[in-house]
Amino acid sequence: MGSDVRRAPLRFALIGAGWMGALHARVLSQHPSSALAVVVDPDEGAGRALAEAHDATWAPDLDVEIDAAVVASPTETHVAWAERLLAAGVPTLVEKPVSTCLEETRAVVAMAERHDVPVMCGLLERFNPVVATALEIVDAPVHVSVVRHSPYVERIRTGVALDLLIHDVDLALRIAGRRPDGIMAHVACVHPKSEPGAEDVAEVTLSYDEGLLVSLSASRLSQRKVRSLWIAELDRMVEVDMLRHDITVYRHVGNAMIGDDGRGYRQQTIMDIPVVANVREPLAVQLDRFVALARGELDAAAERATIVPPHEVVAEALRIAAAGRQGS
């Protein structure tokens, strides 16, 4: 692209006018480097309403020239849209998961490589400022625990592993720097409104030969939303609330019994509360990176390399969980 084009906002197509699409529409229309040109959705009512709210046009199908696209349509449509856009040379951000089928996810990434077109997956927790701050603080983690629980939402058709757990698998891969050496997994399929075989709870443990243990808990049966991360080192613990963007570092000093009869307990702990810098909405930070990728300012190959691994680990965890149920 020429310098003038690089300075101009990228014209975006947004595929999907649902809940996640509405969030993307707001960020795309507000970001200085993007312009929401068209909202594509077969539902004219939803699509036109979202487009008009952000001074864009609605279309039942994509028939205009654009610079980039965000695919936020139902998961089962991700692959078809991604392949169509990549074949046309359009840089594409696909909401997670790319597909519920691992081979299809691999095929999309391979297609992006063949066509040399930037592709990105919406693994949004990568851009949570409090998570970034925690990862900057941590030096030598030995135990990581993540709880990601939500109330039940009928619109989500995929199981909880590819809806929620994938974020924390991705986080674990970033902390460890590689895939785990061992995986243990258990799932529960209990909600009567879920699709047959779609898990509602997933408990996964990732182990590394050097000693790191990662415990992941994902559920869509909670009565409240929880997004908690604990990273333990030998001499401190980093506690993160990913919803409130709050981080606390604990160092244990000592403990003693209270009173001669030992009926109480006193603990001495030093608490540090770091400042979380650059507190911006993760969707906006994600869009910063995607625009830079679309403009050729970042390494598209390096970004592609981050997409398949979390999908692979989730697929392996589900395979292990299924084998465990069959063997019980």
Pairing outcome for strands 213-219 and 201-207: antiparallel
Sheet containing strand 34-40, edge to edge, reads 57-59, 34-40, 10-15, 68-71, 92-95, 119-122
pLDDT class for 4, splitting at 50, 70, 90?
A: very low
Task: Specify the DSSP element, H or E, that contains 224.
Answer: none
Task: Specify the DSSP element, H or E, that contains 208.
Answer: none
Task: Specify the DSSP element, H or E, that contains 205.
Answer: strand 201-207
Domains and CATH numbers, the chain: 3-122+283-299 (3.40.50.720), 128-279 (3.30.360.10)
Half-sphere exposure of 197 (CA within 13 A, CB side): 4
Q: What residue type is 327 in one-letter code? A: G
In this prediction, what percent of the chain has a pLDDT beyond 90?
Answer: 88
C-alpha–C-alpha distance, residues 85 and 184, integer Å = 37
C-alpha–C-alpha distance, residues 121 and 119, integer Å = 7
Interval 41-92: pLDDT, tens: 999 999 999 999 999 999 999 999 999 999 999 999 999 999 999 999 999 9
Sign of torsion over alpha carbons 12, 13, 17, 20:
negative
C-alpha–C-alpha distance, residues 11 and 156, integer Å = 29
Distance between first and last Cα of the chain = 58
Token representation of residue 2? 């020429």
Q: Interhelix angle for 19-30 vs 282-294, to 10°? A: 70
Interval 111-134: pLDDT, tens: 999 999 999 999 999 999 999 999
Task: Specify the DSSP element, H or E, that contains 285.
Answer: helix 282-294
What integer is the mean pLDDT of 235-261?
91
Q: Is the pLDDT of residue 327 over 60?
A: no
* CB-based burial label for 129 (10 Å; 0-12, 13-18, 19+): middle
Q: Is the pLDDT of residue 326 over 70?
A: no
68-104 CB burial, b ≥16 within 10 A, e <16: bbbbbbebeebbebbbebbeeebbbbbbbbbbbebeb
Interval 271-281: pLDDT, tens: 999 988 778 89
In a 3-state reduction of DSSP, which class is residue 14? strand
pTM for this structure? 0.92
- Other Cβ atoms less than 10 A from the Cβ of 211: the count is 10
Closest listed residue to residue 105, CA positions, set 130, 89, 82, 134: 82
Pairing outcome for strands 57-59 and 34-40: parallel
C-alpha–C-alpha distance, residues 179 and 182, integer Å = 9
What is the full DSSP assignment across 73-129?
A: S-GGGHHHHHHHHHHTT--EEEESPS-SSHHHHHHHHHHHHHHT--EEEE-GGGG-H
Q: Is the pLDDT of residue 159 over 80?
A: yes
Token representation of residue 49? 């309403």
